[in-house]
Structure 1
Amino acid sequence: MSASEDTFTTPDGHELYTKTWKPASTIKARTVLVHGFSDHCNNFEPLATLLAQQDIAVYGFDQRGWGRSVHTPAEKGRSGPTGQVMDDVTAFIKHVLAESEGTGSPLFVMGHSMGGAQVLLYAARYCPSDVVSKIRGFLVEAPFVALHPDSKPWKITVIFGRLAGKLLPHMHMVNRLDPTKLCRDPDVCKALENDPLCHDTGTLEGLAGMLDRANTLETGSVVLGEGRGEGGKTRLWVGHGTADGVCDYAACRKWYESAQVEDKEMQVYEGWYHVLHKEPGEDKVRFAQDVANWVLARCDNVGVDGQGEVDGGAERARL
C-alpha cells in the first residue's frame, strides 16, 4: 500500500489538497471520500489504509475552506453556496475518473457527516448524468440529515444567522463541536480537538448552506430513487451509530427508509458515536471491513449492464 499527496485545481482556479491511498496489488475498486465539517481527508485514517489493504484505492480531498485547502485565514470555512460545493465534488470525481480511465475498476463515492449529507444530495439531485452513469454506488457514514437534539443551535441564532448571512456571506462564525461526542476513544477526541486543521470556523453563507442541505433531507424534500448510478441502478450503503451525539440517528434512519432504492443497506452500530472510522479497538477495523465487504460485493457480480446480483434492502446491526 502506498499513500501520496498532491493538489487539484478546480475549474475556477482554486487549489485543493488531495491524498491518495493505493493498493500494492491490482485495484479492484476506487472510492472518493468527502469529509465533514471542521475536518480534512487525512482524518479518514485508518479507514483509507484498511481499504487500500483490500485492493480498494481511496481518493480524498480537503474541501474548499477546510484542511490544507485553506491558503489564507480569510478562506477558513469559505466553501461557497451549495452549488459551488457540488461543483467541487463533480470536478474532483471527474479528475479521478480521468486519472484512472481504462482501469475497469468501479468507482464509489463515500461521505461522512456534513460530507455524508452532501453525498446523499449529490446522488439524488446534483450529480450530472455523464458522471452518475460511472458511479457504482454511494456510501454515507453518520450523514448530517439532522443535528442530534443535544447539538442543535437555538432557533433565534439560526434566524439571525441567516439574515446576517445575506448581508455578510463571508463573515466568520466559530461553531465548535463537542469533542467528547465524536468518538468513544478519548485519545481520538483529544487529537481532533487539538488538530489545527480542524478550525471549527464556517462562514455565514457556508453554515446556512449546510443547514439547508440537511433540512431538505430531514423534511423529505429530497428522496433518493432508482436510476442514479452505473447501469441505471442506484446502490446505497448507510452506517450510523445509535449513540451519535452530533448527527441524529433517528432522522437518518427515517430518511434511509424513505429511499426508493432496491439495493440499499443500513448498518446500525449499537452504542457507537459519530466518527465510526475512528472508534476504539477493533471497532474501527470492523467498520472498515463492513465498508470493504459492501464495495467488493458490488465489483465481482456486476455485468456489462451494471446490474448487480447481490441482494438489496438489507439492514444489519453491529453490536
Structure 2
Amino acid sequence: MKFRYLSIALLTLSGCMPMTYPPGAQNNMAQLGANIFLTEDGASLPLRHWLPKTEPHAVIIALHGFNDYSRFFDSPGEYFSQQGIASFAYDQRGFGMAPQRGLWAGCEAYIKDLQVLVRLVKQRYPKRPVYLLGESMGGAIVITTMSQMEMPEVEGIILAAPALWARSTMPWYQTGLLWTLAHSLPWLTLTGKGVHVVASDNIDMLRAMGRDPWVIKATRVETVYGLTDLMDEAFNSAASLRGHTLMLYGEKDEIIPKEPTYAFLRQFLAADAANKTVAIYPHGYHMLLRDLQAPTAWKDIAAWINASPDKLPSGADDRAQQLLSTGL
C-alpha cells in the first residue's frame, strides 16, 4: 500500500515540470522599427531608444533585469545621449509589454534575440562601436550570449550587478526547495512579501516601480527556476568571458550576494585581466544605474567607452583592486 502511494506521488510530481515557453518557428525577417524589435518568429518586442542630436560615436544595447522592462534605462539612456552615445533597450520575452508576460522563454530564446538585435544595430550603425550593457538578469544574458560561437563581434560589454547566484553557491535547502516547488507547483506565484532586502537607496524610484503596472510583482516558480538555470550558465562562463569588459558591483547589494559575485570575479580576472575593469562602489546597491549615486556609475561607463582610461573618474576601480588584493 505504501509503495502504491509513493508511486502515485512520484507520478504526480513527474506531471508537474517547470516549463519554458520558447519562440515559434523562425519564418520572419527580423526588423528594427521605431518602437518595435520584430524577431525572426514574428514576436513584437517593445523597443526604446535614446539618441543624441548628432550622429552617435558609440551605441549601447541595454538589457533589463528580472521582472523589469526597458524603461529601466530612461535616466542613463538620456545621460548617454548627451555624451554622444545612442542607446537601445527592449522588453525581453515574458517581461514588460512583450508577449507571454510572466512566462520564461528559455535561455536560448533570450540569447538568440540579443544576437539578432546586435546584427540589426550593427547594420544601422556599421561604422560605430557597439557595446552590450546588462543589468542583473540582463547581465547574465550578456555573459552567456558572449560565450556563444555565433555571437556577432561587439566592442565591449558592461555588466551592472549581473545575476550570478548560481546553484553551486546556494545552500542545499534553498536549491532543494526551489526544485521541489518547480516540480510540484510550477504555476505558484511568489510576491517577495516578507523578504526584507533593499534593492536601492533611491526610495522614490522604488515606489514608482511599485506603481508601474508593467513591472511584474508576482512571479511564477517555474520562471524563478528558469532564471536560476540562466545564472548557472552565466556563472560557469566566467573563465570563457574574454574581451573588453567593465563590471560594476555595489558593496551594499542585497540581491546578488558577495560570495557568488566574488567567486565569479576570481575566475573572470584569471582568464584575461588585461582587458577587464572591475568597479566596486562602497555606497552602491543592486540597482546601481538607478541608485542615488547612479550618475557616478554613468560617468564611469561613459569615460570607459569614450577613452578606456587607466583609472575611472569615481575611483571605484581602485576600491575593487583594494578588495581584490585582500582576496575578496
Q: What TM-score do the two structures reach when normalised by structure 1?
A: 0.78
Match for residue 198 of structure 1?
215
Letter in 2 for 1:163: H
Q: Give deviations 1:76-110, integer Å, cap 9, x for gaps.
A: 22231111111111122222122223xx1100001
User: C-alpha separation between the residues in 2 aligned to 1:8 and 1:59?
Assistant: 10
Letter in 2 for 1:277: L
Distance 1:185 1:223, change over 3 A: closer
Work out the number of aligned pairs and report it. 281
> Quick one: which of 289, 292, 296 aligns to 1:286?
296
User: C-alpha separation between the residues in 2 aligned to 1:141 and 1:78?
Assistant: 24
Secondary structure of 1:277's counterpart equals coil
Is 1:223 aligned to residue 238 of structure 2?
A: yes
Secondary structure of 2:162's counterpart equals coil
Cα deviation, residue 5, structure 1: 5.5
Letter in 2 for 1:209: G
Secondary structure of 2:131's counterpart equals strand
> Quick one: which of 148, 165, 172 aligns to 1:126?
148
User: C-alpha separation between the residues in 1 aligned to 2:204 and 2:197?
Assistant: 10
Distance 1:267 1:186, change over 3 A: same
CA RMSD of aligned residues (A): 3.1
Q: How does 1:219-298 map to 2 (within 5 A)?
A: 221-225=236-240, 234-259=243-268, 260-261=271-272, 262-280=274-292, 283-298=293-308
Distance 1:294 1:172, change over 3 A: farther
User: C-alpha separation between the residues in 1 aligned to 2:89 and 2:214?
Assistant: 15
Contact 1:263 1:311 in 2 (8 A): no
> Quick one: which of 209, 214, 224 aligns to 1:207?
224
User: C-alpha separation between the residues in 1 aligned to 2:311 and 2:200?
Assistant: 32
> Quick one: which of 138, 158, 168 aligns to 2:157?
138
Cα deviation, residue 257, structure 1: 2.5
Contact 2:141 2:234 in 1 (8 A): no
User: C-alpha separation between the residues in 1 aligned to 2:196 and 2:69?
Assistant: 16
> Quick one: which of 315, 318, 322 aligns to 1:316?
318
Cα deviation, residue 205, structure 1: 4.3
Identity value in percent: 20
User: C-alpha separation between the residues in 2 aligned to 1:76 and 1:201?
Assistant: 11
User: C-alpha separation between the residues in 1 aligned to 2:73 and 2:172?
Assistant: 25
Q: Give deviations 1:17-50, integer Å, cap 9, x for gaps.
A: 0001111123111010010101011122211111
Q: Give deviations 1:172-206, integer Å, cap 9, x for gaps.
A: 63343868611102111211222111113444443
User: C-alpha separation between the residues in 1 aligned to 2:78 and 2:114?
Assistant: 22
Cα deviation, residue 256, structure 1: 2.0
Contact 1:35 1:114 in 2 (8 A): yes
> Quick one: which of 176, 180, 183 aligns to 1:160?
180
User: C-alpha separation between the residues in 2 aligned to 1:109 and 1:153?
Assistant: 35
Distance 1:194 1:152, change over 3 A: farther
Higher strand share: 1
Contact 2:63 2:139 in 1 (8 A): yes
User: C-alpha separation between the residues in 2 aligned to 1:93 and 1:79?
Assistant: 22
Q: What TM-score do the two structures reach when normalised by structure 2?
A: 0.76
Greater Rg over alpha carbons, structure: 2
Contact 1:277 1:287 in 2 (8 A): yes
User: C-alpha separation between the residues in 2 aligned to 1:43 and 1:179?
Assistant: 22
> Quick one: which of 103, 110, 113 aligns to 2:136?
113
**More RCO (CA 8 Å, sep 6+):** 1
> Quick one: which of 68, 72, 80 aligns to 1:51?
80
Is 1:36 aligned to residue 52 of structure 2?
A: no
Secondary structure of 2:297's counterpart equals helix
User: C-alpha separation between the residues in 1 aligned to 2:125 and 2:196?
Assistant: 37
Letter in 1 for 2:254: G
